[in-house]
Amino acid sequence: MSDFAALQQELRRLAAERDVVILAHNYQRPEVQDAADHTGDSLELSRIAAADPHSVILFCGVHFMAETAYILSPQKTVLMPDKRAGCPMADMVTVAGLRKLKAEHPDAVVVSYVNTSAEIKAETDVCCTSANAVQIVERFPRDQKIIFVPDRNLGDYVARQTGREDTMILWQGWCHVHDDFRAAEIEELRAANPDSVLMAHPESRREVLEIADVVTSTSGMLRYPETSDARTFIVATETGLLYKLGKLYPDRTFIPASKQAVCPNMKRTTLEKAVATLSDEWDDVLEHEVVVPEPIRVKALAAVERMLA
Ligand code: 13P
Ligand code: SF4
C-alpha cells in the first residue's frame, strides 16, 4: 500500500469516527482530493457546507472558504488542516479602504467576490463567485453603481459582459496565480497545438480572456470538455485542476497555460496535516478551528445568503 493510501484510509477512518465531512477545493493536491467526500469550486463547496448534515467540516482549501462555511453553519465545527492557507488577493482589500470607497460613492452597492474576509463580507450587499458573478451583477438595475471587490480582472470581465463599464468601480486587487498568465505565451502554446481549445478562469487578465474560447470557474472547466469535440485543451488556471480533468477525460490532453501557475496557499494542505488535525494525538484542535465573531458573521451571512438565493 502506498503512503498516500495508508494516510487516506486513516483520514477516512477518523472522519467516520468524528462525524466529519471532508471538503476539498479543485486546486488541492490530488491525494487530498481523492480522500475528500466532496470536491468543487467555491460556489459548490459553500452550498455543500450549508446543506451537509455532519457536525464537523474539515475544509481543505483556503481560509476564506472555511470562513464562508462557518458563516453559513455556525453550529458546526469548521477545521482547516493548516490555517495559514490564506488568499493573498482576499488580503488586498481592507475594511478601512472599503469604507472610504463606500463613503466616496454613497449610492453604490457593494458586490464582493467570495475571496474576501468575513469582515469585508460584513460590509457587502451581495457576494459572488467566479461561477455566478455575471448573473449577480445583472440582478441590479443597469444604472446602479456597483463597487466590486477585490479582483480587478474578474470585475473588468463582469463589467464588459454586462455592459456596465461606466457604473462598476473596481477594487485593484488580483490573484498572483492568474494575473501572471500572458496572451503571448498562450498563443505560442496554441501555435504548437493548433486544434486546442483555451479555457480561462476569469481571474486572468483581459488579454487572456479575450483570446479564450471559454471563460468559466474551475468546475465550469471540469464540465466543458463533455460538450466539446476538441481533443486538446489549454487550461489557464491553477495547475491543480489538471488532475481532475485528466481523471474525468483520460482520452483528452490538458496543457497548463503556465507550469508556474501554482497557488502555494492551496498546496499548504497535505494529507499528513489533515490526518493530524483529526487524529487522537492532536491535543489542541482549536488551533485548527475557524470561527467568526457573531456580529460580523450575521452581517456577512446576509451577503452570502443573498448570493445563494
Ligand atoms: P473557483 O473554484 O470558484 O473558480 O475559484 C477559483 C479560486 O481561485 C479560488 O481560490
Ligand atoms: Fe487566492 Fe489565487 Fe490562490 Fe485562489 S489561486 S487562493 S484566488 S491566490
Residue-range domain boundaries for the chain: 2-86+266-292, 89-175, 181-256
> What are the DSSP calls for 165-177, one per residue?
TTTEEE--B--HH
Q: How are strands ordered across the β-sheet holding 253-256?
A: 214-215, 197-200, 232-236, 253-256
Same fold, 89-175 and 181-256: yes
Find the mean pLDDT for residues 75-99: 97
Ligand nearest to the CA of 176: 2
The answer to whether residue 40 scores a pLDDT higher than 70 is yes
Q: Strand, helix or coil at 93? A: coil
Domain 89-175 -> CATH class: alpha beta
Residue from 81, 18, 58 nearest 273 by CA: 81
- Report residues whose beta carbon is within 6 angstroms of any ligand 1 atom: 26, 41-43, 62, 87, 115, 129-131, 175, 201, 203, 217-218
Ligand 2 pocket mutation pick from 92, 112, 115 by most atoms within 8 angstroms of CB: 115
Nearest ligand 1 atom, CA 61: 10
The answer to whether residue 210 scores a pLDDT higher than 90 is yes
Q: To which CATH superfamily is domain 2-86+266-292 assigned?
A: NadA-like (3.40.50.10800)
Look at the block and give the residue holding cell 446576509. 302
Render pLDDT for 97-154 as a digit per residue (tens, 0 to 9): 999 999 999 999 999 999 999 999 999 999 999 999 999 999 999 999 999 999 999 9
Check residue 283 and give its pLDDT. 60
Burial class (CB in 10 A: 0-12, 13-18, 19+), 3: exposed
CB 20 within 8 A of CB 278: yes
Q: In sequence order, what are the beta bridge partners of 113?
A: 128
Gap from CA of 204 to ligand 2 centroid (Å) = 11
Write out the three cell numbers for 177: 496565480
Nearest ligand 2 atom, CA 115: 7
Q: In sequence order, what are the beta bridge partners of 58?
A: 22, 79
Check residue 191 and give its pLDDT. 97
Gap from CA of 280 to ligand 1 centroid (Å) = 32
Gap from CA of 175 to ligand 2 centroid (Å) = 6
> What are the DSSP calls for 285-308, one per residue?
GGGGB----HHHHHHHHHHHHHHH
Correct CATH for 181-256 of 3.40.50.620, 3.30.365.10, 3.40.50.10800, 1.10.3720.10: 3.40.50.10800
The amino acid at residue 44 is E
Check residue 280 and give its pLDDT. 63
Render pLDDT for 265-279 as a digit per residue (tens, 0 to 9): 999 999 999 999 998
Is residue 65 lining ligand 2, measured as CB closer than 6 Å? no
Gap from CA of 237 to ligand 2 centroid (Å) = 10
Render pLDDT for 222-268 as a digit per residue (tens, 0 to 9): 999 999 999 999 999 999 999 999 999 999 999 999 999 999 999 99
Check residue 286 and give its pLDDT. 77
Render pLDDT for 154-189 as a digit per residue (tens, 0 to 9): 999 999 999 999 999 999 999 999 999 999 999 999
Beta-strand ranges (E) seen in 82-159 are 109-113, 126-128, 146-149
Residue from 53, 45, 86 nearest 69 by CA: 45
Give 2's pLDDT tier (boundaries 50, 70, 90).
confident
Check residue 281 and give its pLDDT. 60
Is residue 86 lining ligand 2, measured as CB closer than 6 Å? no
**Percent of residues, the chain, with pLDDT higher than 70:** 98
CA 215 to chain centre: 15
Ligand nearest to the CA of 87: 2
Gap from CA of 302 to ligand 1 centroid (Å) = 21
Ligand nearest to the CA of 267: 2
Check residue 1 and give its pLDDT. 59
The answer to whether residue 36 scores a pLDDT higher than 70 is yes
Give CA–CA dist 140/5, Å, rounded: 49
Check residue 282 and give its pLDDT. 57
- Residue having the nearest C-alpha atom to atom 6 of ligand 2: 87
